[in-house]
């Protein structure tokens, strides 16, 4: 990792940890609930990609019996995550793994559930990332990968604060949660040959649910 990226990460991880504990705090339990209600996977291995301060991993652990791998390429994010996991008393259920989504250091067909929130718009090569995600998914497993705030009330509340703080936010969120973006992901998933998927666009956000029926990679 370059020196520049490390420096950006130090401030970035402090800011992310801060917002995850304040403005975004109520969204994680709601997203965890959405994941479990939609996919019904509550046991086995879950991988949270771009887990940051581990707020989603913690919320999912609290609502399930899943053993969770919190994967992130930033050491600084992992420092914050380690503190939060420890404070939550979940060190036996959530394990940190340093790694990049473009070359995930996990075996083929090893994850029952793969989740990721607010990370994919940072990925350099979305095709490679999704091939890797598909590779580590177990047959019968599912993903919930995307962006969002869980429900309409939380989304509307967060938009008011974000629009005030950052004039670019409106355009960023309009583009992120748009039918055009869904089409872009659909084209990408068809091009790499994912056989079965659903893209959710609604009050809960934009989420990509991949399913895997046969073992192996694409
Ligand atoms: N998922 C967390 C949440 O919702 O609170 C954190 C979201 S934060 C905006 C994005 C995270 O993705 C950061 O922790 C960043 O280090 C991680 N990330 C970005 N690109 C990555 C990559 N290529 N591989 C692994 N992690 C990555």
Which residue's alpha carbon is nearest to atom 7 within ligand 1? 118
pLDDT of 9: 76
* Residue written as token pair 């309009």: 174
pLDDT of 207: 98
Q: Is the Cβ atom of 74 under 6 angstroms away from ligand 1?
A: yes
Q: Report the separation in Å between the CA atom of 11 and the middle of ligand 1, taken as the mean of its atom positions.
A: 14
Q: Is the pLDDT of residue 216 over 60?
A: yes
Boundaries of domain holding 91: 42-210
Give a yes or no: residue 72 inside a domain.
yes
**Rounded mean pLDDT of 61-85?**
97
Q: How confident is the model at residue 1 (pLDDT cuts 50, 70, 90)?
A: very low
Give a yes or no: residue 100 inside a domain.
yes
Reported pTM: 0.96
What's the CATH number where 184 sits? 3.40.50.150
Give a yes or no: residue 8 inside a domain.
no
pLDDT digits (tens, 9 = 90+) for 13-66: 999 999 999 999 999 999 999 999 999 999 999 999 999 999 999 999 999 999
Q: Which residues contact 85 (CB under 8 A, 6 or more apart)?
A: 54, 57, 58, 70, 91, 94, 96
pLDDT digits (tens, 9 = 90+) for 136-195: 999 999 999 999 999 999 999 999 999 999 989 999 999 999 999 999 999 999 999 999
The number of domains in the chain is 1
Concatenating the DSSP letter of every residue in 100-134 gives BTTB-SS-TT-EEEEEEES-GGG-S-HHHHHHHHH
**Integer-rounded Cα radius of gyration of the chain:** 16
pLDDT of 48: 98
Closest ligand 1 atom to 13 CA:
14
Give a yes or no: residue 90 inside a domain.
yes
For the purposes of burial, counting CB atoms within 10 Å of the CB of 120, is it exposed (0-12), middle (13-18) or buried (19 or more)? Answer: buried
Give a yes or no: residue 37 inside a domain.
no
Give a yes or no: residue 12 inside a domain.
no
- Classified as helix, coil or strand, 3 is helix
Give a yes or no: residue 16 inside a domain.
no
Give a yes or no: residue 76 inside a domain.
yes
pLDDT of 2: 42
Q: Which residues contact 75 (CB under 8 A, 6 or more apart)?
A: 6, 9, 98
CA within 13 Å, CB half, 174: 6
Closest ligand 1 atom to 20 CA:
5
Q: How confident is the model at residue 200 (pLDDT cuts 50, 70, 90)?
A: very high
Q: How confident is the model at residue 6 (pLDDT cuts 50, 70, 90)?
A: very low
pLDDT of 3: 41
**Element (H or E) spanning 47, and its range?**
strand 45-49
- DSSP strands (E only) in 78-204: 94-98, 111-117, 137-147, 197-202
């Amino acid at each position: 990792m370059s020196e520049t990226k490390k420096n950006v990460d130090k401030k970035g991880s402090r800011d992310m940890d801060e917002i995850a504990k304040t403005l975004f705090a109520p969204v994680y339990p709601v997203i965890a609930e959405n994941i479990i209600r939609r996919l019904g996977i509550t046991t086995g291995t879950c991988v949270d990609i771009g887990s940051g301060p581990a707020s989603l991993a913690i919320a999912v652990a609290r609502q399930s019996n899943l053993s969770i791998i919190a994967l992130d390429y930033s050491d600084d994010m992992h420092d914050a995550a380690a503190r939060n996991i420890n404070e939550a008393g979940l060190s036996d259920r959530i394990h940190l793994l340093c790694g990049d989504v473009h070359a995930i250091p996990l075996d083929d067909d090893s994850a029952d559930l793969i989740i990721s929130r607010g990370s994919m718009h940072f990925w350099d090569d979305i095709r490679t990332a999704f091939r890797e995600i598909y590779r580590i998914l177990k047959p019968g497993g599912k993903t919930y990968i995307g962006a969002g705030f869980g429900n309409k009330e939380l989304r509307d509340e967060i938009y008011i604060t974000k629009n005030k703080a950052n004039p670019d936010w409106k355009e960023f969120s309009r583009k992120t949660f748009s039918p055009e973006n869904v089409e872009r992901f659909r084209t990408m998933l068809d091009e790499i040959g994912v056989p079965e998927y659903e893209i959710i666009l609604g009050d809960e956000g934009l989420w990509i649910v991949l399913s895997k029926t046969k073992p192996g990679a694409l």
